[in-house]
């Protein structure tokens, strides 16, 4: 409590100091001067949870983007420098709005974020009304982009992920009978599951059972697993977060049921749970756009920089963030006089670039990524399997 | 076969509720207060055991003993610091203090051990490589954890019944439960009796924590919260204050929950559990085995 007070006080002081600086500050040199010959800068404002229950995701997107910004600013022949500010929204929509207003006062050109779906839907309406271009690294619901021409996604939409998973099962002939376990109290999990089930129906894969659980605090999955086992499911699709998934794997092992388990990108992180026996996850498939162990040069370079800076292996959220910054950087370069434009003109110009057929980005999370008019990304999903306690590309 | 496997699941889930409920009911029966921090003492016990076994590589039995010792101390300290000063206060005050202690423990654990989940070792009760008894050519597996939990639950219930019924300390506890002032006049040290109750309740919590996390191995600062509430429900269901009642309530709760999931819907399992509770309380206001004591006016 006391710590919070001190923190609040420090922040308040810092804020008033910066206000003073603004008041007296016409003579203060703008940071772009250090960019050398590149006179103009682009202000990218990020929003995501740096504290609170979903801080893991926000911190990753902030750090991944930071690495891209540092790379671009360190380039000799950069088109322009980037100023980057990331505001904490604690994963809550109300806080995200104040974070967004802070960034608007700062004079933001492009919004990068938000990390999680709930706040992103709110911020998307705001940016749509204000005509500011927005690219989210990881808010995956279709509701984020629906009806908002200025909002684009770097991640797959939830139903899309389900469809991709079903296609993969069909193409590789992994199974003809599948069971689905998902959290029906969670929009992410439900979205993927429904996309998967619908696609299975059209591909002729038999879904023997659809099992749900109400919240991630659920601990007993024996009933759901028994239903899958009795239905003869050779593969269990579970688009759920890694915490409940670790319990599913443990309980399946205890009851001697050994189907192929297949998860979505929320499964990423399961190998890092302290004390988790990774042997239980052996053979687990998961859909992720990013594999940190890949030997691809770009990925290896990113992973090395990230590890040096933050002491941990980056996950897909960090990679999405890195790609977002490069996508914005590449798109802005294609616009003549982009840096002299106001936000609304830049927004319209960026929409035109992102939706044009010849604009594509090669990033960590996919090669040749393009965007549709509705804001969804088109890229290949990567299926990785857990092998000897690490990810291996399939 | 499916029915049998659901039955086993229900029994093992129920026996975990029962073992937690025994702690609740013990404290309620003697101190006449709802110790909502009980679920969080379970969590602390599980963390102590987790770090003893994975961090310091101690054998499981030592880890469990360490958890029991530390939880007993924690329980007594909580009682001394938070509840004893409120001995004369209204029961609502004590109840709210208990909720406060619960949040204190959860957030303290979050600072100490971070919010990220840990995976509790599941091999404590394995015999060699085997995790359980397999019957009918793999059609049915009964894990040793479930067997140990059910047996231990019965043993603890019997021991507690004997303790409160036959020993001197147990008699003192029952006397305190009937009337604190009168028992003090009879030469019973009420404070140490209540401390003893908390010590026993918290030791049970440590055992429950280890068993629960062996069966459902995700360990987080909030791990104890929901099972705590469910076990409280079980205690009320069976008649709070009654030791066999807590056992029966816990087992029934686990069975109802599992069968609802299996045969009605996974979405409504909690709703059905609580609906049954309401019906039972309408018919028998003191719970299944509780004693209904009318207020004398």
Cβ within 8 Å, pair B118-A274: yes
- A-chain residues near B51 (CB < 8 A): none
Rg (chain A; Cα; Å) = 22
Q: What band does A294 get if pLDDT is binned at 50, 70 and 90? A: confident
- A-chain residues near B116 (CB < 8 A): 56, 273-274
Pairing of strands A285-288, A260-263: parallel
A207 φ, ψ (degrees, to nearest 5): -90, 105
* pLDDT value for A318: 92
* pLDDT value for A35: 40
Cβ within 8 Å, pair A273-B118: yes
User: Is residue A367 included in any domain, yes or no?
Assistant: yes
User: Is residue A29 included in any domain, yes or no?
Assistant: no
- Provide mean pLDDT across the span A182-211: 89
Give yes or no for residue A385 having a pLDDT over 60: yes
Sign of the torsion angle spanned by Cα atoms A324, A329, A332, A334: negative
Q: Which of B54, B114, B218 to mutate to test the interface with A (most CBs of A within 10 A)?
A: B218
What's the CATH number where A60 sits? 3.40.50.2300
- Provide mean pLDDT across the span A135-155: 91
Among residues A288, A312, A345, which one ends one of the domains? A288
**Between A223, A230, A246, which is nearest B266 by CB?**
A223
- A-chain residues near B118 (CB < 8 A): 273-275
CB B74 within 8 A of CB B202: yes
- Provide mean pLDDT across the span A331-339: 89
User: Is residue B8 included in any domain, yes or no?
Assistant: no
* pLDDT value for A33: 41
Residues A304 and A344 in one domain: yes
The answer, for A213 touching chain B at a CB cutoff of 8 Å, is yes
Residues A163 and A118 in one domain: no
Among residues A288, A319, A354, which one ends one of the domains? A288
* Token pair for B9: 């699941």
Residues A190 and A144 in one domain: no
User: Is residue A389 included in any domain, yes or no?
Assistant: no
Residues A134 and A174 in one domain: no
Cβ within 8 Å, pair A274-B116: yes
Of residues B124 and A248, the one with the higher pLDDT is A248
Q: Which of residues 84-113 of A touch B (CB under 8 A)?
A: none
What CA–CA distance (Å, rounded) separates A380 from B7? 45
Of residues A241 and A101, the one with the higher pLDDT is A101
- Provide mean pLDDT across the span A233-249: 89
Residues A119 and A201 in one domain: no
Q: Provide the mean pLDDT of chain B.
A: 86
Place of tokens 């590589």: B57
User: Is residue B10 included in any domain, yes or no?
Assistant: no
Give yes or no for residue A167 having a pLDDT over 70: yes
Element (H, E) at B118: strand B118-119
Please tell me the least confidently modeled range out of A46-55, A65-74, A186-195, A320-329: A46-55
Residues A139 and A180 in one domain: no
- Provide mean pLDDT across the span A132-146: 91
Residues A312 and A245 in one domain: no
If phi > 0 it is left, if psi is from -120 to 50 it is alpha, else beta; for residue B140 that is: beta
Pairing of strands A133-136, A110-113: parallel
Cβ within 8 Å, pair A223-B9: yes
User: Is residue B11 included in any domain, yes or no?
Assistant: no
* Token pair for A342: 């106001």
pTM greater than 0.90 (yes/no): no
User: Is residue B131 included in any domain, yes or no?
Assistant: yes
- A-chain residues near B2 (CB < 8 A): 226, 230
Give yes or no for residue A110 having a pLDDT over 90: yes
Nearest CA in chain A to B9: A222
Three-state DSSP class for residue A337: coil
What CA–CA distance (Å, rounded) separates A200 from A176? 10
The answer, for A168 touching chain B at a CB cutoff of 8 Å, is no
**Between A214, A226, A273, which is nearest B267 by CB?**
A214
Residues A178 and A191 in one domain: yes
User: Is residue A23 included in any domain, yes or no?
Assistant: no
Q: What band does B176 get if pLDDT is binned at 50, 70 and 90? A: confident
Give yes or no for residue B186 having a pLDDT over 50: yes
Residues A145 and A177 in one domain: no
Among residues A258, A288, A318, which one ends one of the domains? A288
Give yes or no for residue B102 having a pLDDT over 80: yes
User: Is residue A5 included in any domain, yes or no?
Assistant: no
The answer, for B258 touching chain A at a CB cutoff of 8 Å, is yes
Residues in contact with A311: Cβ distance below 8 Å, sequence separation at least 6, in sequence order: none
**Between B116, B131, B266, which is nearest A211 by CB?**
B266
What CA–CA distance (Å, rounded) separates A137 from A370? 14
Q: What is the pLDDT of residues B260-274, one digit of tens each?
A: 888 888 777 788 888
What CA–CA distance (Å, rounded) separates B229 from A187? 26
Residues A181 and A277 in one domain: yes
Of residues A282 and A47, the one with the higher pLDDT is A47
Q: How far is B6 from chain A (nearest CA, A)?
A: 7
- A-chain residues near B131 (CB < 8 A): 253-254
Please tell me the least confidently modeled range out of A123-127, A352-356, B1-5: B1-5
- Provide mean pLDDT across the span B107-121: 81
What CA–CA distance (Å, rounded) separates B99 from B102? 5
Nearest CA in chain A to B8: A222
Q: Which of residues 268-297 of A touch B (CB under 8 A)?
A: 273-277
Q: What band does B295 get if pLDDT is binned at 50, 70 and 90? A: low
Nearest CA in chain B to A56: B116
User: Is residue B82 included in any domain, yes or no?
Assistant: yes
User: Is residue A390 included in any domain, yes or no?
Assistant: no
User: Is residue B160 included in any domain, yes or no?
Assistant: yes
- Provide mean pLDDT across the span A369-392: 85
Q: What band does A345 get if pLDDT is binned at 50, 70 and 90? A: very high
- B-chain residues near A250 (CB < 8 A): 119, 122, 217
Q: What band does B28 get if pLDDT is binned at 50, 70 and 90? A: confident
- Provide mean pLDDT across the span B120-149: 76
Residues A141 and A228 in one domain: no
* Token pair for B257: 């929950």
* pLDDT value for A13: 55
* pLDDT value for A24: 40
**Between A223, A251, A256, which is nearest B262 by CB?**
A223
Place of tokens 């990108």: A265
The answer, for B134 touching chain A at a CB cutoff of 8 Å, is yes
Domain total of chain B = 1
Cα dist. A392→A171, A290, A363 in Å?
19, 11, 19
Domain range spanning residue B96? 16-224
Three-state DSSP class for residue A249: helix
* pLDDT value for A27: 42
| Counts for chain A of helices (H) and strands (E), in that order | 11, 15
Q: Which of B1, B5, B117, B133 to mutate to test the interface with A (most CBs of A within 10 A)?
A: B117
Give yes or no for residue A32 having a pLDDT over 60: no
Domain total of chain A = 2
Q: What is the pLDDT of residues B36-68, one digit of tens each?
A: 899 999 999 999 999 998 888 888 889 999 999
Cβ within 8 Å, pair B261-A256: no
User: Is residue A103 included in any domain, yes or no?
Assistant: yes
- Helix A297-310 and helix A316-333, axial crossing angle in degrees, nearest 10: 110
Q: What is the pLDDT of residues B145-161, one digit of tens each?
A: 888 888 988 999 899 88
Q: What is the pLDDT of residues A299-334, one digit of tens each?
A: 999 999 999 998 888 888 999 999 999 999 999 999
Of chain B, the percentage scoring pLDDT greater than 70 comes to 95
* Token pair for A320: 């999405």
Q: How far is A138 from chain B (nearest CA, A)?
A: 20
User: Is residue B285 included in any domain, yes or no?
Assistant: no
* pLDDT value for A8: 61
What CA–CA distance (Å, rounded) separates A380 from A368? 9
Nearest to B54 by CA among B118, B105, B97, B100: B118
Give yes or no for residue A57 having a pLDDT over 70: yes
What CA–CA distance (Å, rounded) separates A321 from A394? 24
What CA–CA distance (Å, rounded) separates A137 from A44? 13
Please tell me the least confidently modeled range out of A20-34, A106-120, B99-113: A20-34
User: Is residue B39 included in any domain, yes or no?
Assistant: yes
Cβ within 8 Å, pair A256-B141: yes
Instruction: Name the strands in the sheet holding A110-113, side by side, starting at the edge strand that comes first in the sequence.
Output: A81-88, A41-48, A110-113, A133-136, A151-153
User: Is residue A105 included in any domain, yes or no?
Assistant: yes
Sign of the torsion angle spanned by Cα atoms B285, B286, B289, B291: negative
Pairing of strands B132-135, A382-387: unpaired
What CA–CA distance (Å, rounded) separates B288 from A139? 49
Residues A276 and A309 in one domain: no
DSSP secondary structure of A288-311:
ES--TT---HHHHHHHHHHHHHHS
CB A115 within 8 A of CB A48: yes
The answer, for B137 touching chain A at a CB cutoff of 8 Å, is no
Cβ within 8 Å, pair B118-A222: no
Domain range spanning residue A264? 159-288
- Provide mean pLDDT across the span A162-182: 89
B46 φ, ψ (degrees, to nearest 5): -65, -40
């Amino acid at each position: 409590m006391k710590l919070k007070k001190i923190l609040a006080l420090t922040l308040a002081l810092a804020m008033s100091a910066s206000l003073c600086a603004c008041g007296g500050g016409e003579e203060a040199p703008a940071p772009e001067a250090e960019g050398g010959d590149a006179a103009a800068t682009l202000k990218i404002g990020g929003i995501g949870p740096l504290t609170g229950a979903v801080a893991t995701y926000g911190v990753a997107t902030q750090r991944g983007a930071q690495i891209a910004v540092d790379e671009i600013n360190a380039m000799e022949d950069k088109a322009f420098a980037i100023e980057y500010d990331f505001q904490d929204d604690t994963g809550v929509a109300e806080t995200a709005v104040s974070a967004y207003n802070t960034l608007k006062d700062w004079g933001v050109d492009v919004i990068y974020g938000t990390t999680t779906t709930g706040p992103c839907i709110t911020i998307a309406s705001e940016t749509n009304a204000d005509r500011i271009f927005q690219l989210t690294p990881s808010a995956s619901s279709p509701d984020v982009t629906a009806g908002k021409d200025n909002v684009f996604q770097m991640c797959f939409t939830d139903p899309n992920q389900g469809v991709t998973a079903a296609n993969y099962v069909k193409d590789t002939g992994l199974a003809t009978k599948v069971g689905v376990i998902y959290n029906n109290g969670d929009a992410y999990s439900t979205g993927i599951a429904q996309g998967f089930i619908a696609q299975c129906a059209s591909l002729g894969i038999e879904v023997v059972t659809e099992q749900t659980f109400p919240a991630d605090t659920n601990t007993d999955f024996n009933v759901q697993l028994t239903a899958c086992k009795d239905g003869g499911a050779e593969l269990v699709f579970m688009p759920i977060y890694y915490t409940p998934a670790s319990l599913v794997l443990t309980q399946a092992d205890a009851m001697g049921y050994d189907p192929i388990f297949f998860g979505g990108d929320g499964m990423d992180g399961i190998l890092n749970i302290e004390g988790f026996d990774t042997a239980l996850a052996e053979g687990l498939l998961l859909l992720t756009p990013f594999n940190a162990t890949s030997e691809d040069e770009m990925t290896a370079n990113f992973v090395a920089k990230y590890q040096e800076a933050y002491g941990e292996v980056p996950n897909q959220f960090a990679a999405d963030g890195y790609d977002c910054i490069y996508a914005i950087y590449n798109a802005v370069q294609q616009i003549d006089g982009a840096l002299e434009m106001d936000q609304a003109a830049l927004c319209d110009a960026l929409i035109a670039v992102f939706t044009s057929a010849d604009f594509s980005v090669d990033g960590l999370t996919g090669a040749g990524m393009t965007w549709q008019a509705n804001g969804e990304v088109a890229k290949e999903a990567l299926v990785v399997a857990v092998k000897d306690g690490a990810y291996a590309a399939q | 076969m499916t029915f049998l496997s659901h039955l086993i699941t229900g029994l093992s889930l129920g026996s975990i509720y029962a073992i937690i409920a025994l702690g609740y009911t013990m404290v309620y029966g003697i101190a006449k207060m709802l110790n909502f921090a009980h679920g969080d003492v379970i969590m602390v016990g599980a963390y102590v055991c987790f770090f003893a076994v994975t961090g310091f590589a101690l054998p499981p039995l030592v880890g469990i003993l360490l958890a029991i010792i530390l939880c007993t101390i924690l329980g007594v300290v909580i009682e001394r610091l938070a509840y004893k000063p409120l001995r004369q206060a209204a029961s609502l005050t004590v109840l709210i203090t208990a909720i406060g202690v619960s949040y204190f423990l959860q957030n303290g654990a979050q600072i100490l051990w971070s919010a990220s989940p840990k995976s509790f070792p599941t091999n404590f009760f394995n015999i060699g490589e085997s995790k359980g008894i397999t019957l009918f050519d793999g059609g049915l597996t009964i894990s040793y954890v479930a067997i140990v939990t059910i047996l231990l639950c019965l043993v603890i219930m019997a021991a507690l019944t004997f303790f409160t019924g036959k020993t001197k300390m147990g008699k003192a506890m029952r006397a305190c439960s009937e009337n604190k002032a009168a028992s003090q006049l009879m030469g019973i040290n009420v404070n140490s009796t209540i401390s003893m109750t908390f010590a026993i309740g918290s030791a049970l919590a440590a055992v429950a924590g280890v068993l629960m996390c062996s069966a459902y191995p995700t360990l987080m600062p909030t791990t104890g919260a929901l099972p705590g509430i469910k076990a409280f429900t079980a205690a009320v269901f069976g008649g709070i204050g009654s030791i066999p009642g807590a056992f029966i309530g816990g087992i029934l709760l686990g069975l109802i929950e599992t069968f609802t999931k299996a045969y009605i819907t996974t979405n409504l399992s909690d709703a059905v559990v609580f609906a049954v509770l309401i019906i039972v309380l309408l018919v028998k206001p003191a719970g299944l085995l509780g004693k209904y004591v009318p207020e004398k006016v």
